[in-house]
Structure 1
Amino acid sequence: MSETVKIGLIGAGLIGREHAKYCQSSSEVELVGIADPSTAAAELAQILDVAHYADYKEMLQRSDIQAVIAAVPNALHASVAVDALERGLPVLVEKPLADSLDAARQIVEATRQTGVPVLVGHQRRYAPDVAAARTFIASGGVGDVVSVGILSTWRKHDEYFEVSWRTQRGAGPVLINLIHDIDAIRFLVGEIEETISMGGKAVRGLDVPDTTGTVMRFANGAIGTALASDAAASPWCWDLTSGYGAYFPAPPDGDVYFISGTEAAISLPSLTVSRHQGDRHWQTPIEQTTLPRVEVNPYVAQLEHFAAVVRLETEPLITAEDALKTLEVALTIDEDANDSLTRKVFS
């Protein structure tokens, strides 16, 4: 039987509470402490019957903790992760890896110097639809990938933005949400070499755009588009339509990733494969089939994988260096989306 890994959770906000829930229900890990200065975090620790710390550095001093989950605001990822790594503690860092490339490189360098692993929380790589689609595409199921489409639109409630860091540069729909889609598409299609983006603040009027549109060029020559908004009433976001999101209602029907190749196309999360019958051209009928999937909760799979990483049974599926590439694309999109607000509008 595998050793149960003792985990310390740093940050007890929206996603931190989800991590706490999955830790409590897992046989692979044991949650032994929560570090977060808020009263709500202290109350959560009491409910879960674990120790509470206002200062995470105090929790890191415990001799029994074997690893930590860093679920803090983006700007704190680097400092928290580096402190844990220097204590010899593997870290599951929530995405994005950091709020800047410099900060992200600090984590990359710390894991290199210490030899202590980092796993980055891009949990969609574990999702049944993404895993099945990756196998299908890698086996040549769509032929050469030609085009990619991403829809990532939803409407967040106003209370969500009462947390100040979510209204400032370093947050916004690109770095909080679209970054997941970017990582999933990198995992499915390959590296992104170039992006062109525009953004708008018309609805929320915050320091970050509430809506962005992006064109991407992939290393394999494919062209993609990505539309993201946190102000649009819409079912077209993976967290909702997949049914694998951490805190969403029952999913409606619909796909949000569309990958077309020279042989066929596949859309996710439904895993619908579209293929011409006979000659591959627009005037021949298209037959649609659905790929099978192995059902699993991505957050549970991520947590179990992290436990295996801590026990040195496997390498991280998403290393800090890998996540740095996703962050670089996301930051470029975010910067262009902000800068585009000053461009000339032609009448």
Structure 2
Amino acid sequence: MGDVLRVAVVGAGGWGAQHARIFSRRRDTELVGIAGRDPGRTAARAAAFDTTPYTDLDTMLDEARPDLVTVCLPNEAHFEPTLHLLRRDVPLLVEKPLVFSLDEADKLLAEAASRGLFFAINLNHRFAEPVARAKAAIDAGELGDVVFATWRFGGEPNFGTSPHANLIETQVHGIDMLEHLCGPIDSVAAQMTDMTRPGTYTTLAVALRFSSGAVGSLVGTYDSSYAYPGTHLVEVNGTRGRLLIEDTVKRLTVSAAGDPTRRVWEAGYFDDEARTFEYTFDRHVERLLGAFRAGEEPPVHAREGRRALALAHAIIRSFEEGARVAV
């Protein structure tokens, strides 16, 4: 591994373009290949980023010799390619969700652990400026003891074959975010509806209990629109104050109990980086490459994807059984 890391991207879809953008533009990485299933689309994507297209993973690995591979495939197509890459001893950054099955998640984590491989997942909401500042405020005790927290997020659907795509591939960010800010969730009670697409649960509401004794809620939906104002909201309320995160990168507001004044962060006029959602991924990559070069664990290990999946399965079980489920 030289000063310039050789990186290959698996996936030529929409978000895969963000992977290609980042690794083709950094001075300390070289984008050495893009692998995809569709030859035409893969060739076009590779041409756009001045690299080599591949339609076979082994050919890419043998010819491009990447130091790190990133995986950005359709949500329900992660397992086999990820397992294959791990068995080729390739360090990986994979997109969320890790997989849809806990058994598959365990197989991937065991394979990576047995080979001592760097295995990261992109839960990039953590790296938004309002989220980083919110985490610092909570950790500094500005809110006192957290009493309740809320996540609400929804927009246009991204349907697959799973009836729980909204939960597992979209609200995974909410599950991860609430635990990132407030600590472990120890039980869940869920309601879901398939009224707009029978057999597919497009909207869900979950009551949460944290190990700390705090409570929370998660509302996630495909029956909304990203065009609506207030698409995303996180509220954390403590004994001494409250904070609100709006639209992930838009605004953080911190208030002290009993004080009508507020402290607000918003990106300044020239700060396009902090106001741009896609650049939360750039921030993650910056941290990730530092850890990779230092031989450390990634800032968000793939086991965090497994944790979010375990909570998602507990939510599904709660809905199906009509009962609160311990995690």
| 2:33–2:64 CA contact under 8 A, matched in 1 | no
Out of 313-322 and 172-181, give the one that drifted further. 313-322
Identity, % of aligned pairs? 25
Structure 1: where are the runs of 5+ without partners? Answer: 161-165, 239-255, 278-284
Instruction: Tell me by how many angstroms 1:87 deviates.
Output: 2.2
Aligned position for 1:223: 215
1:170–1:35 Cα change, 3 Å: farther
Once the two structures are superposed, what CA deviation does each residue of 1:42-85 show, in whole Å capped at 9, x if it has no partner? 21112222111112232122362111101112333232223222
Structure number with the bigger relative contact order (C-alpha 8 A, sep ≥ 6) is: 1
Residue identity opposite 1:53 in structure 2: Y
TM-score (norm 1): 0.81
Structure 2: where are the runs of 5+ without partners? Answer: none
SS, match of residue 61 in structure 1? helix
Q: Aligned partners of 1:3, 1:315: CA distance in 2, in Å?
A: 19
Superposed CA RMSD: 2.3
Aligned position for 2:26: 26
Once the two structures are superposed, what CA deviation does each residue of 1:292-320 show, in whole Å capped at 9, x if it has no partner? 88964211112222322332354211112
Q: How does 1:1-347 map to 2 (within 5 A)?
A: 3-38=3-38, 39-62=40-63, 64-156=65-157, 166-169=159-162, 172-205=165-198, 207-233=199-225, 234-238=228-232, 256-269=233-246, 270-277=251-258, 286-290=260-264, 296=274, 297-337=279-319, 339=320
| 1:173–1:230 CA contact under 8 A, matched in 2 | yes
Q: Aligned partners of 1:289, 1:74: CA distance in 2, in Å?
A: 38
Instruction: Tell me by how many angstroms 1:334 deviates.
Output: 4.1
1:133–1:209 Cα change, 3 Å: same
Q: Aligned partners of 1:57, 1:200: CA distance in 2, in Å?
A: 43
In the alignment of these two chains, the number of paired residues is 307
Once the two structures are superposed, what CA deviation does each residue of 1:151-206 show, in whole Å capped at 9, x if it has no partner? 112234xxx5xxxxx3321752211211112111111111111111111122233x
Residue identity opposite 1:213 in structure 2: A
Residue identity opposite 1:259 in structure 2: V
Instruction: Tell me by how many angstroms 1:138 deviates.
Output: 0.9
TM-score (norm 2): 0.86
SS, match of residue 62 in structure 1? helix
Q: Aligned partners of 1:53, 1:19: CA distance in 2, in Å?
A: 16
1:90–1:314 Cα change, 3 Å: same
Instruction: Tell me by how many angstroms 1:229 deviates.
Output: 0.8
Residue identity opposite 1:88 in structure 2: D
